[in-house]
Amino acid sequence: METAEEQKPRVVVIDSLQSWEFYVNQASTQNSPIVVHFTASWCMPSVAMNPFFEELASTYPDVLFLTVDVDEVMVINLLLLLFINLSNLILCFALICLLPNTMIICDMYSTKSTWTVTEVAKRMDVKAMPTFVVVKDGAPLEKVVGANPEEIKKRIDTFVQSIRDSVA
């Protein structure tokens, strides 16, 4: 029988800028490092790295492991943007009908209300998939581009050891 800690997902899926900021803030507060796997469902090397990333998450319980599927979130946010703009159009039409002598400005192209993880990818300077980024206090410290398990593990080992040395 697994304990509650063992049942908890070891890799957290980030699906919005809000969830990114929540987990980064939480990790910063707890002085915990983060390893992020930027992926895309169409990228076979990214998909092939998923089991390895899960294994890493089990190996390093003091490290927060996040995965960001940039393309999946872009599709969701495009649909959300379409819905928001359609809602704005209906609202503007209703306001025009209700208040015919009032000037009404409708912002149909604003993306302010849609939060995407593409902004996270931009902040981390991710340009290819898969990309693995070691993050501390919200700042990228190490980056590995491509499916290179040995290099990823080496960077995490080095980083975790440096944290242990600084605490000791």
Chain segment 127-147, per-residue pLDDT in tens: 899 999 999 999 999 999 999
Q: At a CB cut-off of 8 Å and minimum separation 6, what does 10 contact? A: 54, 57, 58, 65
Q: Region 92-118: what's the mean pLDDT? A: 51
Q: Region 65-79: what's the mean pLDDT? A: 68
Question: At residue 51, does pLDDT exceed 80?
Answer: yes
Can you list the domains of the chain with their CATH numbers? Answer: 8-73+115-167 (3.40.30.10)
Residue with token string 């499916």: 147
**How distant is the alpha carbon of residue 67 from its chain centre?**
6
Question: At residue 111, does pLDDT exceed 80?
Answer: no
**Rounded CA separation 95/104 (Å):** 8
Q: Region 53-72: what's the mean pLDDT? A: 91
In this predicted structure, what is the pLDDT of residue 130?
94
Tokens of 121: 């990818």
Q: Residue 39: enclosing H or E segment and its boundaries?
A: strand 34-39
Q: Residue 37: enclosing H or E segment and its boundaries?
A: strand 34-39
Bridge partners, residue 131, by sequence: 38, 145
In this predicted structure, what is the pLDDT of residue 163?
83
Question: At residue 82, does pLDDT exceed 70?
Answer: no
Q: Region 39-45: what's the mean pLDDT? A: 89
